[in-house]
Structure 1
Amino acid sequence: MSAEAPSLIDRLPPVRGRYRAHAPLAAVTWFRVGGPAEVLFRPADRDDLIAFLRARPDDVPVTVIGVGSNLLVRDGGVPGVVVRLGRGFTDIAVEGTDIVCGAGALDLNVARVAAAADLGGLEFLCGIPGTIGGALRMNAGAYGREIKDVLITAEALDPHGQVHRLSCDELG
């Protein structure tokens, strides 16, 4: 009798965040539809996510989501690991005339912090549901403005956990 292959969750590296096998993604999307993530990972913070990406098996697919405001999940679910960015990715800071924020920061909250600091140009974010990470991914826009109009640089992680600082032009 042969031994059963280890489950995906047993093959993943130790993390400070949380893993959950067969997590229903309908519970974390605004449309409340769709199947489960094979494994849902909620990293504690950026360092936890970097460590996970660097140590995960290469054959394990990774899908990153924010608050699920513009996301439809297929009924069959998502194979591999779905990374949901949470509280550890929501910081927003004013640095002079710039806003620095995490990918999980809500667009509306970024606009509010900018307004409170008398920084104009981000008002259009009030009309866009979701997170800054999603807004960058799709070049979100409203009222004649787009993220590309206000972005200076973004830090991004590649699938192997390497950090890259990208200009707006480099993001395409």
Structure 2
Amino acid sequence: MDISTLVKLTSRAWSLNILALLHSGLPGRQAPLLAATNASRTAFTSSLAHLVQLGMIERNPGHGHPLRPEFRLTTTGRQAAEMAHSFVKTVPDEREFGILRKTWTVPILAMTGSPYRFSMIKSDLSPITDRALSSSLHQLEAQDWIRRDIVTSGRMPFPTYQAVNTGAAISRVVDLIL
């Protein structure tokens, strides 16, 4: 899985939760998945359709009703589901896991396993805007998942960002998959 696939995967709030639940053995029917995620029906349906579009899950042929299909992981989806399940083990608190549901959190943490400058993160995550990146970095810094250091060794001082604590653990999980 490359970084652009990771960005697409995390662009829907409940995608990681759905994959983690399927990996843990929860039946792939909509009702149990919806109940386990505590998501709104609209957000859940959007995330489910997005996972089907990405090829992470597929309808299980011969199972389920046409209006209430059953889903299963694809080969690509198994790898992403393993990663999502590792995230759930790393961040068991539901409030903190809510931060992982934000679009740019996981890709930023994946990039910052080693110190990275703002401009390098922005160029590697090309569709991200300055405002979205800045906001995400501030949020992760407030959560103590990213550390901001000022490098003064050069002519002009500049900040670098590096994942720490839980953020570093998440970055290591992504590194194993990427």
TM-score by length of 1: 0.25
Return the TM-score normalized by structure 2.
0.25
Q: Name whichever structure is richer in strand by fraction.
A: 1
Which of the two has greater helix per residue?
Answer: 2
